[in-house]
Structure formats: C-alpha cells, structure tokens
Homo-oligomer: A and B are copies of this chain.
Amino acid sequence: MIKGLSTAGLGQVKNLEELIILASENGFGSVDTSGQDLRNFVEEKGLDNAKAFLKEHKVAIGSIGLPLEWRQSEEQFKEGLSTLLDDAKIAAEFGCTSCCTYVLPATDYNAAHFMALATKRLRLCAQILKEYGLNLGLEFVGPHHLRTAWKNPFIWEMKDTLDWIDAIGEPNVGLLLDSYHWYTISGTIDDLFALRPEQITHVHLNDAKDVPVEEVLDNDRLYPGEGVIDLAGFLKALNQIGYKGSVTQEILTKEPLTESAKLLAEKSGKAYKKVYAVAELE
C-alpha cells in the first residue's frame, strides 16, 4: 500500500511540484491533486519533464478530485462535463487511475429524488472516467453532526454506499475509504475483511480525537497515530485483503495550519512510518 500525501495537513503548499518534493522527501509514494493542478504542472514543465519529475522523485499521482458539481442543478452538472473530460485525460497521461468525490450524509433536497439524480449523474461520470482507465471513488462521510446539517438524511454507512455503487452499476466505481469516516460510523475490522480490494478505489488515513464518537467533528482531524482510531488494524486489514493502492493523508482542521509545509510534511512522514510499523507493514 502506497503512502500518499495531499495538501490537507500541510498548511500552505505552493504548487504540485512542491507537494511532490515534500512527498518524496518524507517517504510518500503518491500525491493527491486535481486535474487543474496537473495541467498547471504540465504547462510549467512540459509533459515529458513533468512525468520525468515524478519518476525521479518516485512519486505517483494517487487520485484526483471529481471536478464537477453533481450535487446541485442539471445545468451545473452539465457545465462540468468538459472539465471532467480534460481531467480524465491529463490524469490518464500520468497513469493515475482514481478520481474521487465525497458524499454528504444529508441533503436539502428530497433524499430519494436526489439519490435518483445523483445515480444518473455519477453513472455518466463513471462511464467517461472508464474510457480513460480511471475509477470513480465515492467517499461516505460519517461524522454525526453532518448527518443533520441539512434537512433530510442521505447515506453515510459503508454498506449503503456499496449498495449505491451497485445501483450505479458501472464496473469502475468503488469506495473512497477514509479511516476517519469508518471510525465515525463505528466500522469494524470485520467490515474491512468483508471487502474485496477492487471495491476500494482509494483510501484516506486520518486520526480522531478522544471524544465520544458522536461528537467527532469532520474538520477536527489528527495526524495518523495521534488519536484513538485503530489505524494499525485498519491498515493490516486492507493489506490482508489485497488492497495495493494509495493510503493518503487528508488532515482537515478548523483553523489553517501555521507551521511550514516542510515541518508538517516531516510530521506526516513520521506519523506514517509509525502506524505502518505498528501494522507491521514495513
């Protein structure tokens, strides 16, 4: 399983190039980014140099974010399709096979109707991504406070998300499995053992404070090993079922982090080393 870095948890990172360097210097093998940042990176360096830069630094592109708005109007959704095409194309150039989006656990829309619309829209996204060899990862979002942050409950359980993936019905749709959300839905190690590796498109690794699980806030995350989540068990289980993709840090915080990206990346690298060691993965 590849250690992955994103800008979330690194404070201010200038650009993708800096993120790649920080990843490389601290033992990470992949970075998460966006299609736009990839295009910027290519514009600055040229495509061949950009690829060479990643290769030299032994860093892969772990995942890009789904660049369009599938949660609002049809018009907004359609507006984003050409960007999706562009992002899929640039991601495929870099051998990236994962494109992810999160699923809020509540909605102001009629939940059933929104589920129908979202199913239709994400199916089209999956079909376009498939043409470029990318998978679509859906991240269930567990924190209790978000379940009531909008009028109507949507879905947040892993098994419900898997049912939704079945309803979408495309071969290249899977979970973005975040240890933080898995913790907030009181997920178990056995739940992980019940997964097949191809059901997991991407993984996030974060830790949670020692407060009652109902009070865990989405934007109050800790670095791996700083909190109470059984990350060693989490990693062991994923490894054992055969997951081989990236496991990416995504530390969302209430306030912007003020330490330098360099320091925070070092902190992240050490945190990863520690939990991987406890999980006997290195």
Contacts and interface: CB of A to CB of B under 8 A. Distances in A.
B169 A117 contact: no
A167 B120 contact: yes
Contacts of A49: none
> What copy number does this chain have within its complex?
4
Contact of A131 (B81, B113, B164, B244): B81
A196 B135 CA distance: 13
Contacts of A155: 110, 112-113, 116
Interface residues of A, number: 43
B123 A169 contact: yes
A243 to B, nearest CB: 9
Select the residue from A81, A152, A154, A173 with max chain B CB neighbours within 10 A.
A81
Given A114-B112, A119-B116, A153-B112, A132 B78 contact: yes
Interface in A100-132: 107, 110-117, 119-120, 123-124, 127-128, 130-132
A86 interface: yes
Q: Is the interface of A mostly helix, strand, loop or mixed?
A: helix
Given A81-B128, A120-B169, 14 more contacts: A81-B131, A82-B86, A110-B153, A111-B112, A112-B154, A112-B160, A113-B160, A115-B115, A116-B155, A117-B163, A120-B163, A123-B167, A123-B169, A197-B242
18 contacts: A78-B89, A78-B132, A85-B85, A107-B112, A110-B155, A111-B112, A111-B152, A112-B160, A113-B155, A113-B163, A113-B164, A115-B116, A116-B163, A116-B166, A123-B127, A169-B170, A197-B197, A198-B198
